[in-house]
Chain A
Amino acid sequence: MKNILLNINKAFDHRIRLGIMSILMVNESVDFTTLKDLLGATDGNLASHTKALEKVGFIKVEKQFVGRKPNTKYSVTKIGEQEFKKHIEALEKIINKT
């Protein structure tokens, strides 16, 4: 039992963070506005969660300018991908066990 819980990653323990990871897993890269629309989050809220995920190295941030507008693109890193997969497997195990 304890082993299963070990794989539940604290970094994903939030609806928005889990959402960000889910979206980035199936897309090469996604910009801030699209993430915001898909998740229904506010600017500040999303920014703090992306920062948290960036800090642990699960996502990559790429800032650029499209014309004059700043555009921030996010994508998942190798570690992020692995950790997310582990997390999902752990979730599945818990659901199947109880």
Chain B
Amino acid sequence: MFYFVLQSTLSMNKIDYLNDISEIKTLMNRSSKFISLSGLSGILAGCFALIGASFAYWLVSDQIGTGFLILDYDTFLLLLLDLVLVTLLSVGSAIYLTTKKAKKNNQKIWDSLTRRLLFNFLVPLLAGGVYTLIILMQEKYGQTAALMLLFYGLALFNASKYTIGDIKYLGIIQIILGLLCALVPKYGFWFWVLGFGVMHIIYGSIMFYKYDKKPNKNQI
């Protein structure tokens, strides 16, 4: 008799417990993972990188692939400006699109979660950025593409703990590209194009189709 009573309360509660579990999952994800990274911003970043790279190619086309780069001061500044512009445009569009998406998801854009995400992303990235600049100032241009890819990959990998959206794999790919690039610095330019341009576009499109297109299915 006791068993039957127990049995019926259990099946009655089963739906409640199922709801409990799905709610636990939702809250765990919502509180620890940032879900509003925009796939579109990845595609845009890739496009900016390609445009910037073509400009750089046009600037120093006669020297690419030789393994040596002899730059006069003006060209060096132009290249640096080109790089800064690409970065600013990519970051700007990422911030804009992500804010927009976060608003749609009712997720706060500036809370402890995004702060943690940015912190984990920026520490390796800034370390790498400064190091790359130092190397540039010493006029060792050969390894810059490898360094940028490597540190960017590490930054992505580190930040991936706090996002959904498989950023981890993009990070790993960039790290591998960076290391390969270090082996054959001659093709540094093309590795850079592949990593920052093509990979961003591929990754962005995958994310766009996976998460942005059917907004309600994968958000939690």
Residues of A within 8 A of B (CB): 1-2, 5, 15, 18-19, 22-23, 25-27, 30-31, 34, 37-39, 88, 91-92, 94-95, 97-98
Contact = CB atoms under 8 A, between A and B. Distances in A.
- Interface secondary structure of A, over-half rule: helix
Interface string B1-32: 00100110011011001101101110110111
Given A5-B6, A25-B28, 7 more contacts: A1-B6, A18-B23, A22-B23, A22-B28, A34-B112, A91-B21, A95-B18
B31 A26 contact: yes
Interface of B: 3, 6-7, 10-11, 13-14, 17-18, 20-21, 23-25, 27-28, 30-32, 108, 111-112
B24 to A, nearest CB: 4
Given A37-B108, A98-B11, A98-B14, A1 B27 contact: no
Given A26-B32, A98-B14, A91 B20 contact: yes
B17 A95 contact: yes
Nearest to A90: B17
